[in-house]
A and B are shown apart, each in its own frame.
Chain A
């Protein structure tokens, strides 16, 4: 068990490190499934931070962001634009900003794909795969090879429009089918609350919109001060290898305030290794002494033990064979606390 666990640990930590740092284009299309309870913003910022360290060119396609995030090289506002226009602008923005430092790697972020899917004017639903793959495929065969990683955020709680045809898949199924890595985001404090409920065999609590309470959009509240360690986001990752084999793992990303922007070592850890999720097992106390505990005093004092040893049991007396009828009599020495009863006692 123990070597198995450590193997999984090293292996899966290497994998998430590779995915977040965009090494070897391990995942061309990553899908981030977030919700109001745990927005993808911290993870997107972590992507940008790592891209900056390894000098990756970052493009942000903004469907709902007004101001460019820190560290973004090219910012393309997708407001009121058709998919083909966006593709064209992204290409132009890359040409304009990447000319000086032609980086062999690119990261393209889409802050939210939902507005495109809900759009009335352009039939984006049917063009979804074309739209996404047009970023990944080089514009011309002669162009220098650029490794592109696409990270798309999808808000799970925003309802999807009804499908045009009853036989076509929903846009979320389409995205999940296309993605090479899917990361679902959870809030760590919610995961802890759900685990605590499961451990006691209770129904896991739900938060925010899932409460279905009138007027509640967001359930998240800051934890009281002093419990900083419950900050952080839980990543439920599903990675599909080229071979088709899937890898499932749960990780935790600590809040950005806990490490410096230049931090190079891996900050993500396995959820199972987090002390709050799986508290270290306490060494068994008092394993040597097997004594039942009770409110009664079951042990004997020294005097009681001595007196018990002094009692001669009847069958020893019977074996002495003082004569017929003598053996088997119960011989009892009266103590000072005993009363003599004429009817019962005979000497």
Chain B
């Protein structure tokens, strides 16, 4: 199969122009994950600005807006996103230096308690994680090489070098306290990063458009839950608070059957609090979204040349405000195939 363009043409209209203050929900299942789609969003927002250096004057005139991206990931670390983006030709570390991109790590130290960290001695990760942590982040003039977050948080092993926390390109979230207060603190942290990104170019008259991608915040909901006073409403309010700071927001959520359907009224068993809250958060988010992109497995079973089905639908909030030409897109269902090299082809059924 020939090499695919980084942005498949069928996909381009959906990922490149998101209406102002809109919410896009990207739902995925275990067998059809949405990382590749998140990367396509990143590429659509960031590639035009990085290309303008190499192909100067080609992109500048057609009204390419000044775009920045903040990626908050609760399920995957910096190293994952950096290497995956590199396969698309996006150098996230360089974009971070240029203040066009910021990564917020919601995974590594989300439940990391600062008081215990100072007590435990500095300790490198044993086993497999150790060689990855010594990779220095390029072009970062720092006395200590920045540590990359390890992919799986392990209780007892979560301590990192306190100095490295500040100098890496990564802002790490910490959850402390209960209920809305804890969420408010997270919101403040993220909003600070967004504001820094917005303020980084005072010379430009036009305020940059900041695209916020929140990757799998359902982890936050699952890890805290009603016991800590965090439920679907609180999460929804949290997302709304984040939306107020940004041009557009993309939310990726899991929509596997047990998480969605066990809580429905027709389910035979009473649902657990997690099932209820997750379903309420996911479905409620879809109600508030302009666009819902759903990834799922092929109904007819696994195929060698199809990875899954992407269905783009209009969410519950579609048509609330007159959005002009940006709101004119068609609902569509296409197949996609992620190749081994990370390239993605998107095609209609039977094509």
Contacts of A220 in B (CB 8 A): 313-314, 331
B294 contacts A64, C-beta separation under 8 Å: no
Residue of B229, B255, B284, B311 near A115 (CB, 8 A) is: B284
A217 to B21, CA, bound (A): 22
Residue of A66, A158, A214, A216 near B280 (CB, 8 A) is: A158
A66 to B280, CA, bound (A): 19
A67 contacts B287, C-beta separation under 8 Å: no
B226 within 8 A of A: yes
A214 contacts B256, C-beta separation under 8 Å: yes
A157 within 8 A of B: yes
A216 to B284, CA, bound (A): 14
B180 contacts A80, C-beta separation under 8 Å: yes
Number of interface residues of A (CB under 8 A): 40
A70 within 8 A of B: yes
Interface window among A7-15, A35-43, A313-321, A330-338: A35-43
A41 contacts B320, C-beta separation under 8 Å: yes
Contacts of A222 in B (CB 8 A): 314, 330-331
Interface SS majority for chain A: loop
Interface window among A83-91, A116-124, A192-200: A116-124
Interface window among B67-75, B155-163, B207-215, B240-248: B240-248
Contacts of A212 in B (CB 8 A): 257, 261, 264
A112 to B286, CA, bound (A): 13
A161 to B276, CA, bound (A): 7
Interface SS majority for chain B: mixed
A70 contacts B322, C-beta separation under 8 Å: yes
Residue of A42, A120, A155 near B234 (CB, 8 A) is: A120
A218 contacts B321, C-beta separation under 8 Å: no
Given contacts A161-B276, A162-B276, contact A64 B288 (CB under 8 A): yes
A114 within 8 A of B: yes
A118 contacts B318, C-beta separation under 8 Å: no
Residue of B179, B256, B320 near A120 (CB, 8 A) is: B179
Contacts of B261 in A (CB 8 A): 209, 212
A221 within 8 A of B: yes
Contacts of A230 in B (CB 8 A): none
Closest A-chain residue to B32, C-beta based? A215
Task: Mark each residue of chain B from 285 to 324: 1 if its CB lies under 8 Å from any CB of chain A, else 0.
Answer: 0111000101111010000000000010111111111100
Residue of B179, B318, B321 near A70 (CB, 8 A) is: B321
A158 contacts B313, C-beta separation under 8 Å: no
B287 contacts A158, C-beta separation under 8 Å: yes
B263 within 8 A of A: yes
B287 contacts A36, C-beta separation under 8 Å: yes
A69 within 8 A of B: yes
Given contacts A121-B180, A159-B265, contact A41 B316 (CB under 8 A): yes
Contacts of A67 in B (CB 8 A): 21, 320-321
Task: Mark each residue of chain A from 219 to 233: 1 if its CB lies under 8 Å from any CB of chain B, else 0.
Answer: 111100000000000
A197 to B85, CA, bound (A): 48
Contacts of A216 in B (CB 8 A): 255, 294, 296, 311
A220 to B28, CA, bound (A): 17
Residue of B28, B231, B286 near A119 (CB, 8 A) is: B231
Interface residues of A (CB under 8 A from B): 34, 36, 39, 41-42, 45, 64-67, 69-70, 79-80, 112, 114-116, 118-121, 155, 157-159, 161-162, 209, 212-222
Closest 7 pairs (CB-CB, A-B): A215-B296, A159-B263, A218-B313, A39-B316, A215-B29, A115-B233, A222-B331
User: With A118-B277, A214-B255 given, can you name 4 additional A-B contacts, CB distance below 8 Å?
Assistant: A159-B263, A209-B283, A214-B257, A217-B27
